Structure 1
Amino acid sequence: MERTAAGGATDPAPVPEAGLPGAAGLLDGLPRQRGPVGATAVRATAAPAGTEVAAPGARSPLLRPWRLLPTPTGTPFTLAYAVVLTVTSLIAAYADPGVVHALHQGSSTDVAHLLRTPGLVLLASALWIAGGILAPYTLCLLFVLTTLERRIGGARTALVFLAGHVLATLATEVPVGLAVLAGHLPDSSLHRLDYGVSFGVAGCVGALAGLLRPWLRWPVLALFGGMLALDLLALTDPLTNWGHLIALGTGVGMWPALRRGRSEPRRVL
């Protein structure tokens, strides 16, 4: 179709821009754009609010392996926590053994400390990690926290970690106190040394699984839960092993809240 100008000349009808959906009628009133910038602008206009629009030719964030590492802007909570764990690991490795033992005892979430200073020891016990900052469990912690924080933000990641850490600690230590009162355990059980990040990690693994696609969610839960179950069957430390399973279940129980509050519509993987 041709349009007639005032002077009688004809102008060719606008040709839809390459790469844009629809014919010219869908773009009436929109100025022509050049190159991929125009395509991006139109797609961003048509995208629902809150949807992340990638630039043409850009790789998916899930294909960038460096996104598994904490960064100051992307994952400030995980990075700050990693710095704290690095400092405490250096203290544990190089400070006087007597000082380190006193710090561990002061941070222990045993029954005696939970009765006197519950808030202090629940936080302090999560500042120490067995095996040092380069231990496999530490690397697992950083990977899980980084991935979870990129999905739900630092504040909610911290809440998930604390929920697993606190609930599993109370669920395992309160029965110890009751058993001592009933005479089934000696008084020394009230001072059982208990510290570390493993309950928080297990809670975050359970929460993160709920944001994965089903083909990955259930294998992750089966593999991690299976390892925890095998540890429990070995009877090396049943109280701690039960705590890991309780923390994992705590993270799984948070799926509905995390899914409702997601800041992005896409799921991890």
Structure 2
Amino acid sequence: MEHTVAEGVPGSHDVAELLDAMPRQRGPVGAAAPRPAPVIGDAPAAPSITAEAIAATGAVASVEAVAHPRPRVRLRPWHLLPTPTGTPFTCAYAAVLVVTSLVVTYADPDLVHALLRGSSTDVVHLVQTPMLVLVASGLWVAGGLLAPYSVCFLLVLTALERRIGSARTAVVFLLGHILATLATEVPVGLAVLTGHLPASSLHRFDYGISFGVATSIGALAGLLRPWLGLPVLALFGEMLIQDLLDLTDPLTNWGHLIALLIGVAMWPLVRRWRASGSAALG
């Protein structure tokens, strides 16, 4: 019997081709096919995400996590000390302090006395050569390289410079050094003018890095985590208050406390500097 195909009805070969062209759905046999996502305009429908695809993605992520684990954050103690590339300002300044300390130790005592006297930020020098003595007074270390402020200089300025950069660290240090000096010497000059202090007070012997270091400690405390920054600020402040109560050198002790408060007042600025520096690095 001859098999005929009605006109307009596709033959068996046509049906097979149509079935081959249709996309096959994954899943168990007999499962209902998922509804196709609606098409808006000419945009193609998003492909359906099957359970097998999700499981496969999770397996691949697990394998990648095992093969490429996240690096652990390691403590690097050498970052506490200055380096020429990482902290150039602190490193260069420390080198200058080493040289001047060697001069104090080995040079002729009369020459050393003349150099320190010429670098003193007393009232007379501040009136005659203010810029010279404000810079020169910060080139000497009172007490030598092993003094507490020398150790604080290395640790604090290194930590500060790694957070806000070299130029901004120099601004913090010099601003504290200059403002605290003026805050202590200007009242001395006024007291001499009004007769409350003798004229010899105009020639105080005043030099060193302690005002700048105190300001840097105050500024750094605002950049550390609270569990570390607040105890550092409290301990250093308590030490300065105790020195002030002992009346060993009231004017200098007041200068240290003022310098610390200058650093604390700079918290909004140094935090903004750190944020802008992090954004630039990112």
TM-score class, shorter-chain normalisation, is 0.7 to 0.9
Q: Whole-Å Cα distance in 2 between the matches of residues 154 and 162 of structure 1?
A: 12
Partner of 2:170: 158
1:192-236 Cα deviation digits (max 9, x unpaired): 110000000000000000001111222111100000000000011
Residues 35-74 of structure 1: pairs in structure 2 closer than 5 A: 35-36=67-68, 56-60=70-74, 63-74=75-86
1:117 aligns with one of 129, 134, 158: 129
Structure 1 unmatched ranges of 5 or more: 22-33, 40-55
Q: Whole-Å Cα distance in 2 between the matches of residues 149 and 111 of structure 1?
A: 32
Q: Whole-Å Cα distance in 1 between the matches of residues 63 and 150 of structure 2?
A: 46
Compared CA separation, residues 59 and 97, structure 1 to 2 (3 A): same
SS in structure 2 opposite 1:57? Answer: coil
Partner of 2:266: 254
1:18 aligns with 2:62: yes
Question: How far 1:244 moved relative to its partner?
Answer: 0.3
Residues 195-234 of structure 1: pairs in structure 2 closer than 5 A: 195-234=207-246
Partner of 1:43: none
Partner of 1:128: 140
SS in structure 1 opposite 2:73? Answer: coil
1:95 aligns with one of 90, 102, 107: 107
Question: How far 1:140 moved relative to its partner?
Answer: 1.3
Structure 2 unmatched ranges of 5 or more: 1-19, 25-51
Q: Whole-Å Cα distance in 2 between the matches of residues 109 and 176 of structure 1?
A: 12
Q: Whole-Å Cα distance in 2 between the matches of residues 137 and 175 of structure 1?
A: 25
- AA at the equivalent of 1:65: P
Partner of 1:28: none
1:181 aligns with 2:225: no
Question: How far 1:135 moved relative to its partner?
Answer: 2.5
Q: Whole-Å Cα distance in 2 between the matches of residues 232 and 257 of structure 1?
A: 28
What is the TM-score when the length of structure 1 is the normalising length? 0.79
Question: How far 1:20 moved relative to its partner?
Answer: 6.1
SS in structure 2 opposite 1:264? Answer: helix
The root-mean-square deviation of aligned C-alpha atoms, in Å, is 2.4
Q: Whole-Å Cα distance in 2 between the matches of residues 20 and 243 of structure 1?
A: 58
Question: How far 1:163 moved relative to its partner?
Answer: 1.2
Q: Whole-Å Cα distance in 2 between the matches of residues 89 and 238 of structure 1?
A: 25
1:76-95 Cα deviation digits (max 9, x unpaired): 00000000000000000000
2:153 aligns with one of 129, 138, 141: 141
Q: Whole-Å Cα distance in 2 between the matches of residues 136 and 177 of structure 1?
A: 30
SS in structure 1 opposite 2:62? Answer: coil
- AA at the equivalent of 1:139: V
| Identity over aligned pairs, percent | 69
2:278 aligns with one of 242, 260, 264: 264
Q: Whole-Å Cα distance in 2 between the matches of residues 239 and 259 of structure 1?
A: 30
Q: Whole-Å Cα distance in 2 between the matches of residues 216 and 98 of structure 1?
A: 45
Q: Whole-Å Cα distance in 1 between the matches of residues 234 and 132 of structure 2?
A: 34
Q: Whole-Å Cα distance in 1 between the matches of residues 117 and 214 of structure 2?
A: 23
Q: Whole-Å Cα distance in 2 between the matches of residues 135 and 203 of structure 1?
A: 17
SS in structure 1 opposite 2:121? Answer: coil
